[in-house]
Amino acid sequence: MSELNRRDPRRSWILRNRLHPRHDELNAELNGQPTRGPTGLLRKNPRPQWQYGPSGLRRLDRLNMSGAAGVTQLSSKKRNEQVVLPLHQVVNPQAWIAVWLQTSGGRLTSHCKDVLGQAQQLAVARKQTTAVLGVLCGELKESVEGAGIDRLLQVQGPEYDGYQPEAWSQLCAQVENNLKPLYWLLPDSGESAELGRRLGVVLGERPATGVWKLEADTLLARNGAGKRDIRRPWSRVMLLLEECALPCGEYRYEAGPLEPEQKLELSAPISSRLEDLGQVAVDPAEIPLAEAEFILSGGNGVHDWPQFHQAATLLGASEGASRVAVDDGFMPRNRQVGATGTWVSARVYIAVGISGAVQHLQGIGKCEKVVAINQDADCDMVKRASLTTIGDSSEIIAELMKLVEAKSAQEVSNAA
């Protein structure tokens, strides 16, 4: 009688169930081979495989590179652990890629960080030592060591403050005459878009606008009101769209000043024919949610709506709401945030009493800083937030309003 290899159904079931206590043990007996099903085919784990990158951010491990015995083990690195990134240095740069730094409230915009990511890709692709030079008029209120700036040229003064496109153009012309950058990269939005076109006239270069992808010899740019793409050669002045590249996040960059032999002798700016009368005060309630930079959003956890409206007025924030609050009649439909409402990209988004449904989290996917005020420490909004306060929303908002009023009173007394 011939001896046949019989399949153990329980063993096969354990190999298919990665949550079983003996799953790893039986996988080790298979010499580290991935799990195979009853038919002998490799089984793919449908659940997402996660790992932590050097920056401490959780990433989807699509290739299962960190797996052992066919199972990806989650790294023991905690998200709140301080991660020290390696330092990226460029000693004695031989060439430059200049980037005009677009700021909002003294902080780099997400659009500018995308442009800096593209500049670093160009710098790394060149064989010679190439550094990214950030050109900035004004002050910075945050560290930029992770943005991708190797050298920083920062000028301040009343002649550069506010809206001064002519002074900015002259500054860029002086940088061009002294350092001869290989390329000028600018965000194609707001004042940077106008400066890029002015700079193209000053340098006698035809700027490439609406650029979203750089290839070996050509670039792709949006044209026809964003409905079609055109292919054209590279230009020394390129205005890039958002998400043209991933922002830098794997290294710390020096962002140091220019060396003494490379410092610029900046001449006094020309007398501008434009007069900046300052920013026009705008009621936050009249700003469309898609354009608002500071949003205070309420949900089912808000019990005192008059207090909520008062806090939004005191903070100078635009009001938003979850679908539950809108359906209950507390907020108008045009203030609903989420996939079924308005997609927002605010710099600061305060979610008060919002648990974090999937549609709502999709709508705030592009928000930079999310602050959660909630009583449930395990809700999805708390997991999404950068800062969380657990407690009754009415009490927390009341304390927040007291702090804002105290700071406003102190500023008034200091000004007097």
pLDDT tens track for 149-191: 998 988 887 777 778 888 888 888 888 988 899 999 999 988 8
270: which residues sit within 8 A by CB, 6+ positions away?
A: 166, 167, 170
Q: Yes or no: say if 381 and 387 are a contact pair by the CB < 8 Å rule.
A: no
pLDDT at residue number 347: 86
Compute CA 50 distance to the chain's CA centroid, rounded to the nearest angstrom: 21
pLDDT at residue number 47: 52
pTM: 0.65
Average pLDDT over residues 213-240: 86
Look at residue 305 and tell me whether its pLDDT is greater than 60.
yes
Look at residue 349 and tell me whether its pLDDT is greater than 90.
yes
Look at residue 271 and tell me whether its pLDDT is greater than 70.
no
Split at pLDDT 50, 70, 90, the class of 16 is: confident
Other Cβ atoms less than 10 A from the Cβ of 50: the count is 14
pLDDT at residue number 154: 86
Split at pLDDT 50, 70, 90, the class of 71 is: very low
Distance CA 382, CA 395 (A): 18
Distance CA 167, CA 151 (A): 21
Q: Yes or no: say if 197 and 113 are a contact pair by the CB < 8 Å rule.
A: no
Q: Which of the listed ranges 39-48, 191-200, 222-231 does the model predict with the highest average pLDDT?
A: 191-200
Look at residue 343 and tell me whether its pLDDT is greater than 50.
yes
Nearest to 318 by CA among 356, 348, 274: 348
Look at residue 68 and tell me whether its pLDDT is greater than 60.
no
Compute CA 211 distance to the chain's CA centroid, rounded to the nearest angstrom: 19
Look at residue 31 and tell me whether its pLDDT is greater than 60.
no
Look at residue 100 and tell me whether its pLDDT is greater than 50.
yes
pLDDT at residue number 262: 59
pLDDT at residue number 7: 65
Compute CA 140 distance to the chain's CA centroid, rounded to the nearest angstrom: 17
